[in-house]
Amino acid sequence: MRKCLRCETEMVENLTVMVTNGGYGIDVREKGMFKGSLGKIKCAVCPQCGYIETYIDDTGKIRKLALENK
């Protein structure tokens, strides 16, 4: 359960972020050409104040990348 950083209301989670008229969504990738996706971006929205938070569910690839770059 995510709580809104502004008003501490429980947020609606697991929503999809899409590009208008694109329908492909947005993902996170390493810098460089032809790098693989590190994860799909999801979002949570506060039903009280409208605050939006983006996140990645599976952080395993991000953690591995962080360890490699140390």
**Domain chopping of the chain, boundaries:** 12-68
Give pLDDT, residue 68.
87
How far apart are alpha carbons 27 and 24 in whole angstroms?
A: 9
Asked if 52 contacts 43 with a C-beta cutoff of 8 angstroms, the reply is yes
- Which pTM value belongs to this model? 0.76
Q: What is the CA radius of gyration of the chain?
A: 15
Could you read off the pLDDT of 8-55 as tens digits, one per residue?
999 999 999 888 776 677 888 888 878 888 888 999 999 999 999 999
